[in-house]
Amino acid sequence: MSSFPALRLSNLPLFPLNATLFPQGRLPLRVFEVRYLDLMGRCHKAGAPFGVVTLTAGRELLVPGAPPEQMQSVGTLAHIESLQQTQPGLLHVVCRGDQRFRIDARRRLRHGLWVADVTLLEHDRVVALPPDLEMTARALRQVHERTAPAAGQARYDEAGWVANRWAELLPLPLGTQYQLLALDNPLIRLEVIGDWLARAGICA
């Protein structure tokens, strides 16, 4: 049984997207809707997080008269790393994924912003890569060397970190990305990724 104490947050603002943010992942956002412009400004000023959740139905853009967005129950806290206003009513934001959470209750405010009461989920256990999955880390390092250095502190020896970075890189269906995020066991997450890499011929 986990000794992690259940920590809850109330009224966490949500940002539903056709994307999945993983812990330690980097997510650029182009923000122009009024409901999110104010949110980003407040979070940036206070150093407070917001929650990124994956959409299951509905659009990222607020459409008058459209049904409310539907979203998955597990999301990721996002902290703003940089915020630039390039023109009035447009923000370019880069945020970093932190801890996962599970939505306990959510509600839509009058101006369209969603807020939720959430329970934070335990950080991934530090699990070393088993010998049969070490090739996933080697291949990831090679990708980073060819394209760009791993953002943040690289942890090629940790199963969860390697799995999360591959989940961001691979052209996985959105539903599959979410299923990986929702897995609590980082080793199982990496095993699933390893199967994808083998089928793609990246790791034989």
**Residues 175, 181, 185, 186: what is their CA dihedral angle, to the nearest 10 degrees?**
110
Contact 203, 173 (CB under 8 A): no
pLDDT above 90 coverage of the chain, percent: 71
Same fold, 8-120 and 131-199: no
What gap in Å lies between CA 195 and CA 155, rounded to an integer? 21
Give the residue extent of every domain in the chain.
Answer: 8-120, 131-199
Q: Angle 174-182/186-199 helices, nearest 10 degrees?
A: 150
At 101-116, the pLDDT tens digits run 999 999 999 888 999 9
Q: Looking at residue 5, what is its pLDDT?
A: 64
HSE-up of residue 8 (Cα within 13 Å, Cβ side): 8
What gap in Å lies between CA 37 and CA 89, rounded to an integer? 7
The secondary structure of residue 133, as a DSSP letter, is G
Q: What are the backbone angles phi and psi of residue 12, rounded to the nearest 5°?
A: -75, 125
Contact 50, 12 (CB under 8 A): yes
At 33-42, the pLDDT tens digits run 888 999 999 9
- Which tokens hold the place of 171? 């052209």
Cα angle: 197, vertex 202, 204; to 5 degrees: 85
Fold exhibited by the domain 8-120: 2.30.130
Domain 131-199 CATH class label = mainly alpha
Q: Looking at residue 26, what is its pLDDT?
A: 93
**Residues 7, 8, 9, 14: what is their CA dihedral angle, to the nearest 10 degrees?**
110
How do 50-57 and 26-31 pair as beta strands? unpaired
At 145-196, the pLDDT tens digits run 887 766 567 899 999 999 999 999 998 999 999 999 999 999 999 999 999 9
Looking at residue 56, its amino acid is T
Quote the pTM value.
0.90
